[in-house]
Structure 1
Amino acid sequence: MFGSSADDERTGPSDRHPARGNHRSAGLRALNDSIDRIDDSATTAPDVRAAAEELLVRKLRSRSLSASEARLILRGVDQDGARLDAGTVDDIIDEFTRRGYLDDAQLAGQLVAAGIERKGQGRVALSRALAQRGIPREVIDAALDELPDDDAERALEYARSKARSLSRLDADTALRRLVGQLARRGYNGGIAMSAAKTALAEATFGRPASGVRFVDSD
């Protein structure tokens, strides 16, 4: 489910996304043709629904959106004082979802992959990041369930990448800082502490006897 991904702050569009030029469906071609013909004066068009759909396609061309984010955009459309009613907003969301332009499950997968590969995040941080994008709880849980149960391994990999830069500090300060960094990335206390101790011990291995050594007191 998880391959390489773009930055989670600018998650790339899927193959079914309006930004993909190689999508050949008649519906998408019609949408794109409509958008390509409009200019800045389109915002003064009398049809508020058409203007709202055009705006949403423009947004989707540059960044994937969750259904919740798309809904907020649509609710904010004001066309000469006219706004979309709730039923019309729902209709547009349903239509864009049916066409595959909005796909919370796919977006969740992209964000999880990006969080792991680019930021070394654990499950807690990943869950929080997806929730902040308005992805439903059940979709978040399904995306996280696809992950192997290797938080400890990912935490250790991240800790190893940071341990050497902390080697100039005294043992307690280095351990505290590294545990804090791991905690901020969503690793629980036990995993963060174990990974930090292991990584710092590895970073100091081979130093002269007077060097700092990290010994697990357990």
Structure 2
Amino acid sequence: MTLHEDRPPPDWLGDVSDGVDAWTRRSSAPDTPTAEPTTAEPAPEPRARARRRSSPPPPDRAAQVPDADPEAVARKILLDQLTGQARSRQELADKLAAKLVPDDVATQLLDRFEEVGLIDDDAFARAWIASRGSAGSGSGRRLAKRALAQELHRKGIDREVAREALDEIDPADEEAAARSLVRAKLSSVARVDDVKATRRLVGMLARKGYGAGLAFAVVNDELAAAGRAEIPGD
């Protein structure tokens, strides 16, 4: 490599220390200013939580609605209870009392419903006997007079009203119902002796309101007809 004779020599030529200083000044990058530390901003609050904090509480609807008319409330309760099935006056009175309907309002409405035929304890008693008595379609029901009388009493039916309805039951129908019940249960006592079979069948009839005399007579007849020994009744 040939040096140009006409180029002036550098200032540091002949002095090594000056050359090093000149070289290091050219190759060193300027100091990068250090950024001042900043405080991190908090994470934004979730929108749902922010809305809950900023939104006022919902209004109290119960405080805005005026008190309902007791008579209107009672009328709706009665109509709901009578939808699909008849009920006794006492049943409806108990329902109104449970809903805290004032006694005077309840009595007034119950009287009015009776006047228009929506409440009729006579018809209710007869319908109840027809559905659960000897003529009932359900083979497991077929209650005798005594059991039906107890149920009508629990329904609040007047004793005289219940007696008149129960007197319409034909004794022959009651006996036929008892026999039907025993026949339906014979298979359940096939593996026990005749004494136990009689006791179970008579007990079943007794729970349905049949008297002991009728129950033993029917059970003995049906066991004999099934080829089993006759057990003397009481």
Secondary structure at 2:156's aligned position in 1? coil
TM-score, normalised on structure 1? 0.69
Q: CA deviation at 1:130?
A: 1.3
TM-score, normalised on structure 2? 0.64
Q: CA deviation at 1:136?
A: 1.2
| Paired residues for 1:39-78 under 5 Å | 45-78=67-100
| Paired residues for 1:146-185 under 5 Å | 146-150=168-172, 151-185=174-208
Letter of the 2:200 counterpart: R
**153-162 or 90-99, which moves further after superposition?**
153-162
Shift in alpha-carbon separation, 1:56–1:44, aligned structure 2, 3 A: farther
Shift in alpha-carbon separation, 1:44–1:106, aligned structure 2, 3 A: farther
Match of 2:130 among 113, 121, 124: 113
User: What is the number of equivalent residue pairs in this alignment?
Assistant: 164
Match of 1:97 in 2: 114
Tell me how far apart the structure 1 counterparts of residues 233 and 156 of structure 2 sit (CA, whole Å): 42
Q: Deviations over 1:103-123 (max 9, x none)?
A: 111111111011122212111
Q: Sequence identity of aligned pairs in percent? A: 30
In structure 1, stretches of 5+ residues that fail to align are: 1-42, 206-211
The higher relative CO (CA closer than 8 Å, separation ≥ 6) is in: 1
Tell me how far apart the structure 2 counterparts of residues 63 and 148 of structure 1 sit (CA, whole Å): 25
In structure 2, stretches of 5+ residues that fail to align are: 1-64
Runs of 4+ residues over 6 Å off in structure 1: none
Q: Tell me how large the CA RMSD over aligned residues is.
A: 2.0
Q: CA deviation at 1:64?
A: 2.0
Secondary structure at 2:183's aligned position in 1? helix
Shift in alpha-carbon separation, 1:114–1:185, aligned structure 2, 3 A: same
Tell me how far apart the structure 2 counterparts of residues 57 and 217 of structure 1 sit (CA, whole Å): 51
Larger Rg: 2
Letter of the 2:155 counterpart: R
Do 1:159 and 1:178's aligned partners in 2 also have CA atoms closer than 8 Å?
yes
Match of 1:209 in 2: none
